[in-house]
Amino acid sequence: MPTPWLKYFKRSPQALVQLYCFPYAGGASSTFRSWAQALFPTVEVCAAQLPGRAERIFESPFDRLGPLIDALSAALYPSLNKPFALFGHSMGALVGFELAREIHRLCRLQPVHLFVSGCRAPQIGDSRPGIYDLPESEFLTELYRMNGTPKEAIENPELMQLMIPALRADIAVYQTYRYVPGPRLTCPITALSGLEDERISLNHLEAWRDLTSASFTVQMFHGDHFFLHPSEADVLQCLSTHLKSFSRT
């Protein structure tokens, strides 16, 4: 049954593995539109469309991770009929990680691979003060300083007015999140980051290793926090390499 939570840009009946993608704060499913054409036909790309953006612009966005994970797991569960992988960038990486834990709790399924992009390991935490409840002018200033939102969006006032509610909510999801220790995942994890991302250190990435009993790798790409746009071809090559055993007939 169709659900507003999941966006398929190209249905692939021959797909052998599904790749579920979760965007950064304020992002929409369109972030991953080109991926459906670039990856193997046997990899079916499905992007999450969260409330408060695109065709769901008038829906209230979630501002806490727990309820968001509950809603996403309910939306994903009926479609988990073949091997699946999870990819999330920045806030989306936390979503992917906690969703993997919740799906395993509910039905003992695990992804074949978890890709966490542009995000420090959750057990490290972030000591920077919260910005999600600042007055608008201060909020926008901090967004620009943090490089947490694409520059093109911040410099478009009309677009920002539409994005601010979802941005505030998504940043609240990230900044109010508190990691709760639990069993390690049993799927491989790959942590991706930009070489020029001043927010994420190698130690932040290496700490993801402690959250799985399976293999772990770090992949670095040219670019800053939003490296997945200028380095898209290299990012997709990385995903293809890790998924090739599931995506070739």
List 29, 73, 90, 231, catalytic entry:
90
Q: Could you confirm whether 79 is annotated as catalytic?
A: no
Q: How far apart are CA 224 and CA 247, in angstroms?
A: 29
Q: How far apart are CA 197 and CA 23, in angstroms?
A: 17
Which residues are the active-site residues?
90
